[in-house]
Amino acid sequence: MTRKAQFIMLVQTWMMQYMLTHILDKTQQDLAITIMFKAMMVPEEAIPRSSIIRSCSDFCRWHVDEEDFDQPSWIMHWHPSE
């Protein structure tokens, strides 16, 4: 994955977290979560929606080592609370 693609993914993740926690009403949250699951190709039943909304601030933890930014060590970790 290129540096640009990694950066775009990081920005999109933080934008989604902000939208889910600060902007969207319940109907919009449901739609945003559906889009997020489709984009990430994860089955919707894999993680409860309530878990995503409740723990959105730590839904994804990004570990980026500046020196190894272009290496496979750039990993997304899932931390569902249920």
Q: What is the pLDDT of residue 13?
A: 74
**pTM, full prediction:** 0.36
Alpha helices in 1-82 (DSSP H): 3-18, 26-40, 49-54
Q: Using the 8-state DSSP alphabet, how is residue 56 labeled? A: G
Domain count, the chain: 1
Q: What does the alpha-carbon distance between residue 33 and residue 55 come to, in Å, rounded to a whole number?
A: 13
Higher-pLDDT residue of 57 and 40 is 40
**What digits encode the pLDDT tens for the residues 20-47?**
666 667 777 677 777 766 766 666 666 6
Half-sphere exposure of 5 (CA within 13 A, CB side): 5
Mean of pLDDT values over 60-68: 41
What integer pLDDT is reported at residue 55 of this predicted model? 47
According to the model, what pLDDT value does residue 68 have? 41
User: Which residue segment(s) compose the domain that 26 sits in?
Assistant: 3-78
